[in-house]
Structure 1
Amino acid sequence: MASLLLTGATGLVGSRLLPRLVEAGFECRALVRGDVALPAAVTGVRGDLDDPDTLQAAVEGVDAVVHLAALFRTRDEAAIWRANRDGTRNLIAAVKQHAPNARLVMSSTGNVYNPDATRPALETDECSPKTAYGASKVAAEQLLRDSGLTWVVLRLPFVYGEGDGHLASMQALAQQFGLHPAHAYAVAHHRDIAAAVRLALTGVMDGRIVNVADGAPPVTVYEMARLAGKPIEGSAEPLVNPWSGHLDSTLLHELGFTPSVPTVYAAARDGIL
């Protein structure tokens, strides 16, 4: 049985990914800061990415690390950089010293791409994010690519499903950030994020950056809010850039990925939003 460490195990994605990794047969550890509820088969290891001295026990002897931990929605840009870049640097150093043969799969984000793009973003595109979050993830990606470890970077889309509240938050996000109702995002359900991670752990993505999305047309802010039961008003005002937020997931599908939840409307039909 392969052993695996998951960071960010209690987050929106991690809390849904962890039981699926257990079900897939991995012997799982979770990096945690305190007492938290974890699946029965999971070992919680106390540690903090801010404190390199606490990471040895978490990584020692594992076959793989799935690094989800990140900081996003805060105005504290220094905290974003500490969590996303510096925390990743500390994790990489621990893996290199205590589990040098482990595969490190890191979640990144579609927010690394240029918001002024003229087509769906490809993994080979130059990244020029406009936010501290996007820039910190680009820096973390580069640290991993230069690490000498066996690595995979998964650039995630808007992730939703299983009552996580992400779709329901769109009404507030649209108001907070002035999102156009027609602005659209590539999406993927939690089931398919787990499928992409499991595929990455087979080795087929080693040394690659891979966009993750269900492959269906991106979903508008208006549709997300309506599906969540928190509708917003439409607008006929021009959309500044219809391509921002779109990810080209051709590579992922060529590597053998097939979504089990093909569209957000299929998720709604099946009651798994």
Structure 2
Amino acid sequence: MTISRVLVTGAAGRIGRAVLARLAEQGVAAHALVLDDPGDLAADRVFTGSAADPARVRTALDGVDGVIHLAAIPTPERNEALEVFTANVSATFAVLEEAGRAGIRRAVIASSYAATGLPFARTLLHPAYVPIDPAMPTEIEDPYALSKQTDELTAAMMAHRHGMTVVALRYPFVGGFDERLPGWAAKIAERPELGARDLWSYLETGDAARAAHLALGAPVSGAPVFYVAAPRTVVPYSTAELLDRFHPGVPRRADLPGRTVPIDLRPAREVLGFTAAYELDLGD
């Protein structure tokens, strides 16, 4: 499937800027929808306004044949719970509804590893099994996780409603090699319990953008959900030892040698053609 012009919502964010750069490298035109124009976005056209505003989305979709929806409040920790939930789900509904009405047949949305419910829970929860996959039961107790699960349900509804394909990518902790990833890795290496909620997973920003671009053209239909992450954990310890220590008794459905991340990345590799290209050098 060939996409020639893409609307990127949340284009001024960390992943959004990387997506714009990726699209430019691949010769794909881009529209950007942002709350405020920072003046330096690598997009053909920049539209300001909320992704939850159907009229602004409709305008930004003019001439577009694909959508990458990234606009969201990215954590439940800095905004009121109702604001986090309603802002995120309203934006996803508006973007996909307007895209479907415009005849657009391919969209990619940023879901999150947090859809499991593990990262922002009040206490350390344990996955039902590892490696985790989209079929694993969730343990949601925060508004951000609920918003992402709702986004995935919205994607499934829109696929039926409009006959479109909406790919949801469950991103882990995302950052670049400037300071964000190395700083986080150093902190987790010193205190590995801080990474237990995320299963010590991460993804480099450029890889996050490449996954979104690949999902635009992948041979899929409906509303599939994929985990994307670096294939090895962010800490220089064996995964088996980490699981024994922080998630004891959790069933293991596959071997996890060395620093293998306990997330099932095979569907992303086999269906999307995505394997992370960038990994932290932890000296092993």
| TM-score normalised according to structure 1 size | 0.79
Structure 2 residue aligned with 1:20: 22
Count matched residues: 249
Gaps spanning 5+ residues in structure 1: where?
224-237
2:93 aligned with 1:89: yes
1:13: how far off? 1.3
Q: Contact conserved, 2:171 with 2:228, CA < 8 A, in 1?
A: yes
Deviation larger for 60-69 or 35-44:
35-44
- DSSP-derived class of the 2:183 partner: coil
Deviation larger for 5-14 or 182-191:
182-191
Q: Contact conserved, 1:157 with 1:212, CA < 8 A, in 2?
A: yes
Task: Tell me, in whole angstroms, the C-alpha distance in 1 between the residues paired with 2:249 and 2:64.
Answer: 43
* AA partner of residue 251 (structure 1): P
Structure 1 residue aligned with 2:277: 260
User: Alpha carbons of 1:57 and 1:144: their partners in 2 closer, same or farther (altered >3 Å)?
Assistant: same
Structure 2 residue aligned with 1:235: none
1:155 to 156, 163, 170: 170
Q: Contact conserved, 2:105 with 2:165, CA < 8 A, in 1?
A: yes
* AA partner of residue 100 (structure 1): G
Structure 2 residue aligned with 1:80: 84
Task: Tell me, in whole angstroms, the C-alpha distance in 1 between the residues paired with 2:204 and 2:71.
Answer: 18
Task: Tell me, in whole angstroms, the C-alpha distance in 2 between the residues paired with 1:242 and 1:164.
Answer: 35
1:75: how far off? 4.2
Deviations 1:160-185 (A, max 9, x none): 214263553678899xxx97256342
1:240: how far off? 5.0
1:66 to 56, 60, 68: 68
Task: Tell me, in whole angstroms, the C-alpha distance in 2 between the residues paired with 1:106 and 1:28.
Answer: 16
- Identity across the alignment (%): 26
Structure 1 residue aligned with 2:207: 192
Structure 2 residue aligned with 1:228: none
Q: Contact conserved, 2:49 with 2:56, CA < 8 A, in 1?
A: yes
Q: Contact conserved, 2:19 with 2:213, CA < 8 A, in 1?
A: no
Task: Tell me, in whole angstroms, the C-alpha distance in 1 between the residues paired with 2:43 and 2:13.
Answer: 18
Task: Tell me, in whole angstroms, the C-alpha distance in 2 between the residues paired with 1:242 and 1:259.
Answer: 29
User: Alpha carbons of 1:172 and 1:70: their partners in 2 closer, same or farther (altered >3 Å)?
Assistant: farther
1:76: how far off? 1.2
Deviations 1:111-158 (A, max 9, x none): 112532131211222333232111111001101111132211111111
RMSD: 3.1
Structure 1 residue aligned with 2:246: 239
- DSSP-derived class of the 2:281 partner: helix
2:143 aligned with 1:132: yes
2:180 aligned with 1:180: no
* AA partner of residue 239 (structure 1): F
- DSSP-derived class of the 2:85 partner: helix
User: Alpha carbons of 1:6 and 1:40: their partners in 2 closer, same or farther (altered >3 Å)?
Assistant: closer
Structure 1 residue aligned with 2:240: none
Structure with the bigger percentage of helix = 2
Task: Tell me, in whole angstroms, the C-alpha distance in 2 between the residues paired with 1:25 and 1:240.
Answer: 45
Task: Tell me, in whole angstroms, the C-alpha distance in 1 between the residues paired with 2:158 and 2:16.
Answer: 24
Q: Contact conserved, 1:121 with 1:247, CA < 8 A, in 2?
A: yes
Q: Contact conserved, 1:105 with 1:201, CA < 8 A, in 2?
A: yes
Deviations 1:57-88 (A, max 9, x none): 11133110001111123241111112211111
Structure 2 residue aligned with 1:231: none
* AA partner of residue 277 (structure 2): S
* AA partner of residue 209 (structure 2): A
User: Alpha carbons of 1:182 and 1:122: their partners in 2 closer, same or farther (altered >3 Å)?
Assistant: closer
Deviation larger for 55-64 or 158-167:
158-167
User: Alpha carbons of 1:213 and 1:52: their partners in 2 closer, same or farther (altered >3 Å)?
Assistant: same
Q: Contact conserved, 1:212 with 1:249, CA < 8 A, in 2?
A: yes
Task: Tell me, in whole angstroms, the C-alpha distance in 2 between the residues paired with 1:192 and 1:66.
Answer: 15
